[in-house]
């Protein structure tokens, strides 16, 4: 038996994980067996990841647990049957959408598919929207490299896509001199090796720049390049600009299988027909290992890591200027950032996230005990924050691999498959850099089978429509004179007009559900959480699309708001 394999077995036994069978499969380590609890399964996978294998195939099953089927659209048609795109991207999160835009810099026929009814429905709309400075990553990792590079790119990208973006900076706070002392060395090393700017802030200065910080913190490290934006607006903007430059987006489209012949994907099966792309990009978030498996190229396993976030009312926004969190021993030396509080680009406050392992890839439910724990941990950081300020909460799932590293590479086994996989945090901050890397690899692979030319007509600037709440009085007047719909306020909390809702419905990625409109322009995100405006928006969707009220959904299939009884609409 190979030495390495013996070492893995010894490491598992040392942790009291007995009865686990370990085998080597194509330079990967495979674990099989059964265990009673999920945390131990994850621990076993992480232990096995320390021995230099390409990846861990963790096939240990959880006693009594059957993995739920992937959430799939019910629709089935032939709209993609026989199509032959140059590149097919699987996944319409921030990674897939940023790659789609980047690829339209070339004269390529690009098709992006996602199984959901809109882009940004999974991790890419369920995160903090923080463009991390990169200091939380280990030097020499792709996560660190992509984060720092992606962060640098955001000023230009947000300008091109007309996405509000602010570099409000990040404070890593400490509550004990020991952490301040120890972190100084950790951060100094990371700053030097990763190229992140940062400095120490003493208590006096800390109270000057953030006067509402309580005595929980006695000092901080500040990282000025840290930014904040709306992650779903960004993802939509990437997708819209890709479409404006010629890409096609097919939503409600799930990839169910692939044909692979002589090391090449020859067909991709979907609920809308079989597609025959020249190249396939795997950007399927928590399902990226399943996509790899479909192409017989499984060399990693995703262990879904859930995170909860709570949103505080906008009136508390002015109490914090920066994102901040208290460092503990675990964050100083580990992969997790530990969460905190931050002002969002829209002026609310976000609290969280936490991080806990669960076997579900698509369980976005929130648990009261997690939310309470998180609020108890972070709210005491700021004078004036209380649980009564919470207006809503949500959860997202990170696509972590056992190696805790991004996978950004052309497949070693399948000529026309490229992976953008394991993109957990800081995937949002890293997205533009990942898109550049994946594009380079894709062009390189495609160039072996076709001529690839630059697209001289590529326009990096997205079309812009008025955002009434951000305009001056004169600009508002001018917009309303041109189109009186901009003068009719539909969402009172956020000041969103009928004209803006119509623009969203008729945009390059049409928003035809309540949540899709919410993600683009925020009606329903205020204190009343849509109580007043939802019926009005439903009416506008019907008027613009010809849908019946009973066809309008909150968030895609199965979330109808109204049901029809004998031809009469009744409330759900
Ligand atoms: C709570 C939380 C907080 C976070 N905070 C931050 C942060 O502040 N900053 C940061 O940089 N990162 C953050 N992250 C990480 C960031 O959100 C992710 O790295 C990023 O969104 C991943 O994007 P993605 O496109 O790879 O995945 P996703 O957004 O999950 O997209 C994958 C898509 O693939 C689709 N798909 C899957 N299988 C199939 C199939 N078979 N057929 C068709 N479609 C399929 C899914 O429907 C999904 O839309 C956070 C994550 C979480 C969960």
Task: Report whether residue 307 contacts ligand 1, using a CB cutoff of 6 Å.
Answer: yes
Q: Ligand 1, residues 128, 154, 285: which to mutate, most atoms within 8 A of Cβ? A: 285
Pairwise CA distance, residues 217 & 25, whole Å:
49
Distance (Å, rounded) from C-alpha 404 to C-alpha 48? 12
Report CA(285)–ligand 1 centroid distance (Å). 5
With a 6 Å cutoff on the Cβ, whether 523 touches ligand 1 is no
pLDDT of residue 185: 87
pLDDT of residue 337: 58
The pLDDT of residue 336: 52
- Return d(Cα 250, Cα 371) in angstroms, integer: 35
How far apart are the CA of 555 and the centre of ligand 1, in A?
A: 17
Annotated catalytic residue 419: no
Distance between Cα 287 and ligand 1 center (Å):
10
Distance CA 76, CA 78 (A): 7
Distance CA 505, CA 53 (A): 48
* Res. 182: pLDDT tops 90: no
Q: What pTM was estimated for this model as a whole?
A: 0.95
| Residue range 499-520, pLDDT digits in tens | 999 999 999 999 999 999 998 9
CATH 2.30.42.10 matches 3-62? no
Write a three-state SS string for 122-179: CHHHCCCCEECCCCCCCCCCHHHHHHHHHHHHHHHHHHHHCCCEECCCEEEEECCHHH
Please tell me the predicted confidence (pLDDT) of residue 259. Answer: 98
Residues of the chain with CATH 3.30.70.1770: 3-62
Q: Which pLDDT belongs to residue 330?
A: 57
- Cα–Cα dist 265/287, whole Å: 18
Reply yes or no on whether the pLDDT at 568 is more than 80: no
Distance 290 CA to ligand 1 centre (A): 15
Strand order in the sheet with 165-166: 130-131, 227-229, 165-166
- What are the pLDDT digits (tens) for 291-316? 999 999 999 999 999 999 999 999 99
**For ligand 1, mutation pick of 80, 93, 258 (most atoms within 8 Å of CB):** 93
- The pLDDT confidence band at residue 123, using thresholds 50, 70 and 90, is very high
Please check the confidence at residue 179 and state whether its pLDDT lies above 90: no
What per-residue confidence (pLDDT) applies to 492? 84
Q: Is 234 helix (H, G, I), strand (E, B) or coil?
A: helix
Cβ–Cβ under 8 Å, residues 506 and 544: yes
Return the C-alpha torsion angle 69, 73, 77, 82, nearest 10: -70
State the pLDDT at residue 528. Answer: 72
Compute the distance between CA of residue 398 and CA of residue 385 in angstroms, rounded to an integer: 28
pLDDT reported for residue 249: 98
CATH 1.10.10.1100 is the classification of domain 470-571: yes
Q: Which part of the chain is CATH 1.10.10.1100?
A: 470-571
């Amino acid at each position: 038996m190979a030495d390495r394999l013996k070492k893995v077995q010894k490491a598992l036994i040392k942790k009291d994980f007995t009865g686990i069978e370990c085998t080597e499969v194509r330079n990967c380590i495979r674990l099989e067996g059964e265990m009673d609890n999920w945390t131990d399964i994850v621990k076993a996978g992480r232990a096995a990841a320390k021995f230099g294998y390409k990846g861990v195939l963790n096939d240990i099953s959880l006693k009594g647990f059957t993995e739920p089927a992937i959430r799939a659209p019910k629709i089935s048609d032939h709209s993609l049957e026989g199509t032959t795109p140059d590149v097919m991207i699987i996944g319409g999160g921030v990674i897939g959408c940023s790659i789609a835009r980047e690829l339209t810099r070339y004269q390529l026929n690009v098709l992006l598919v996602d199984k959901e009814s809109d882009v940004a429905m999974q991790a890419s709309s369920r995160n903090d929207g923080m463009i991390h400075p990169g200091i939380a990553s280990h030097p020499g990792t792709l996560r660190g490299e992509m984060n720092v590079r992606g962060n640098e790119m955001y000023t230009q990208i947000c300008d091109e896509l007309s996405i509000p973006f602010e570099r409000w900076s990040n404070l890593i706070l400490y509550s004990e001199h020991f952490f301040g002392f120890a972190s100084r060395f950790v951060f100094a090393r990371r700053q030097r090796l990763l190229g992140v700017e940062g400095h120490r802030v003493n208590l006096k200065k800390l109270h000057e720049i953030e006067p509402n910080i309580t005595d929980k913190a006695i000092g901080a490290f500040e990282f000025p390049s840290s930014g904040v934006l709306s992650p779903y607006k960004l993802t939509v903007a990437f997708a819209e600009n890709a479409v404006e430059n010629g890409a096609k987006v097919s939503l409600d489209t799930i990839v169910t299988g692939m044909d692979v012949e002589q090391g090449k994907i020859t067909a991709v099966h979907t609920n809308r027909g079989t597609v025959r792309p020249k190249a396939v990009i795997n950007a399927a978030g928590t399902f990226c290992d399943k996509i790899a498996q479909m192409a017989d190229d499984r060399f990693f396993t995703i262990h879904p890591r859930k995170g909860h976030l709570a949103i505080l009312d906008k009136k508390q926004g002015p109490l914090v200027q920066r994102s901040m969190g208290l460092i503990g021993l675990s964050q100083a030396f580990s992969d997790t950032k530990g969460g905190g509080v931050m002002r969002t680009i829209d002026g609310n406050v976000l609290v969280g996230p936490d991080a806990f392992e669960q076997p579900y890839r698509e369980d976005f439910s929130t648990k009261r005990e997690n939310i309470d724990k998180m609020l108890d941990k972070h709210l005491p950081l700021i004078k004036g924050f209380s649980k009564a300020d919470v207006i809503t909460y949500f959860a997202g799932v990170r696509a972590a691999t056992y190696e805790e590293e991004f996978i950004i590479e052309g497949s070693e086994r399948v000529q026309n498959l490229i992976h953008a996989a394991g993109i957990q945090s800081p995937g949002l901050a890293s997205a533009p850099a990942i898109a550049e890397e994946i594009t380079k690899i894709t062009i390189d692979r495609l160039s072996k089978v076709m001529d690839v030319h630059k697209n001289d007509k590529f326009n990096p600037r997205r079309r812009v429509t008025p955002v009434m709440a951000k305009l001056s009085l004169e600009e508002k007047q001018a917009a309303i004179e041109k189109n009186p719909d901009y003068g009719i306020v539909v969402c009172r909390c956020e000041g969103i007009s009928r004209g803006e809702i119509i623009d969203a419905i008729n945009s390059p990625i049409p928003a035809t559900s309540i949540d899709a409109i919410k993600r683009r322009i925020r009606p329903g995100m205020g204190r009343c959480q849509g109580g007043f405006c939802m019926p009005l928006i439903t009416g506008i969707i019907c008027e613009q699309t010809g849908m019946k009220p009973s066809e309008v959904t909150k968030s895609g299939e199965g979330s109808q708001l109204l049901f029809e009884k004998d031809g009469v609409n009744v409330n759900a």
